[in-house]
A and B are shown apart, each in its own frame.
Chain A
Amino acid sequence: MRRRLWALLRRDLALLLLGGRRGGTMLPLLFFMAVAMLFPFAIGPDARLLARTGGGVIWVAALLAAILPLDRLIEPDLELGMFDQWALRGMSEEWIVAVRVIAHWLSFGPPLMLAALPAAALLGLDGPTLRTVELGLLAGTPGLAAVGVIVAALTAGLRGGAALAGLLVSPLAVPLLVFGAGSLAPGGESGIALTAAVSLVLLALAPFAAGAAVRAARG
């Protein structure tokens, strides 16, 4: 079993990590930076306003960036027949999608946290705010990855699935956004713990929800 999980993780990472082959792996990151760059243009050069709203902008940008890779998460493997082959070998869909959540998070969570540094500079965030943003992203991006894999599995094989996926992720990610961005308010540090709690619930749900969705999509 461990050998099989390693083989899966290795393949998933090769496909999804930066420079991976399933196309456009840099896109979420560039998109994130683009949003962070556009915002000061739209708001104007008021440094105090930027600093006050910047943390929230980073959160929204992170959420939007996490939507971009969704159509590459589950659908290609359904079409290739990989899930059929795994099922024949007695590998449950729950394990496969659990590995995929890990790979998906590794492919956008840490890079996003790195990209948040230049973004924070663009938006003029101070040190303590940046620290809160980074901790919040660390707590929240695993939950975003879980939501992403669930939604990718639910929309796999549907016509217009990619657009639907974006639409479905937004409401599911609201709790993460509320607590994550909420932690930036004065005295709101406990929001990080709540973000982490939401993430844990989503991570616990993801293998079962996404696994069932993959089985249903196979029919």
Chain B
Amino acid sequence: MQECRLAAVNLACRRGDRVLFRGLSLALGGGEACQIAGPNGIGKSSLLRILAGLLEPFAGNVARSGEAGLVDERPALDPHLPLAGALAFWERFDGRAAEAAARLGLDELGDVPVRYLSTGQKKRAALARLVAQAAPVWLLDEPLNGLDTDAVKLVEALVAEHCAGGGLAVIASHQAMALPGGARRIALRDFIA
């Protein structure tokens, strides 16, 4: 896996006329993971979008090396297509097969249209897309939402493997989650403006 690094300095985020958080800094290298914790609406998703480069921070800056992969509440899979077809688009686009699909228990769902999948199944499909992307920087927004206990364990294992392979992961979640050794936990509440 390619070298990766993610550093944010003194970030602040504004949505509308409200500053959600300010003064947040973090630095992660290969093999490290970090959980962003905090109640709903505190700005976890916005922080991940800033780290991904999809949202301009109100203040501060982000330096990232290595491609980022994002899983959020939208699976980015065509809803009318059968799951296999929707994943096949990303396989063609990324040029890599979604081998994790079987491990995530998606094999039997291959011909079910994405719009008929449950919340947890959609989340698993998005995770399969993420694994196939093989990006060294993982940004996971509430990856456990809608997942059953087995799937939660699977996500924890995937993150651990990803970090062991030299990748880094930032996980925004209000739920407790087992992360690889030495993972940090940032409570966003401490940075409320």
Contact = CB atoms under 8 A, between A and B. Distances in A.
Contact of A21 (B75, B80, B89): B80
A85 B92 CA distance: 14
A7 B89 contact: yes
A88 B68 contact: yes
A218 interface: yes
Contacts, number: 57
Interface stretch (A76-84, A103-111, A144-152, A163-171): A76-84
B95 A3 contact: yes
Given A11-B89, A80-B79, A88 B52 contact: yes
Interface string B115-144: 000000000000000000101000000000
B93 A80 contact: no
B74 A79 contact: yes
Interface residues of B, number: 26
A157 to B, nearest CB: 14
Nearest to B79: A80
B74 A89 contact: no
A176 B135 CA distance: 45
Interface in A1-43: 3-4, 6-8, 10-11, 15, 21-22
Contacts of B92: 3, 6-7, 10
A151 B69 CA distance: 30
Contacts of A218: 54-55
Interface string B61-103: 0000001111010111111110000000110111100000000
The A contact surface, by secondary structure, is helix
A126 to B, nearest CB: 44
Contacts of A6: 92
Given A8-B93, A88-B70, 19 more contacts: A3-B92, A21-B80, A21-B81, A22-B80, A80-B75, A80-B76, A80-B77, A80-B78, A80-B79, A81-B74, A81-B75, A82-B76, A84-B54, A84-B72, A87-B54, A88-B69, A89-B93, A89-B133, A219-B56
19 contacts: A3-B92, A4-B93, A7-B89, A10-B92, A21-B80, A22-B80, A80-B74, A80-B76, A80-B77, A81-B72, A81-B74, A81-B76, A84-B52, A88-B54, A88-B68, A88-B135, A89-B93, A89-B94, A219-B56
The 5 closest A-B pairs by CB, nearest first: A81-B74, A7-B92, A81-B76, A7-B93, A85-B76
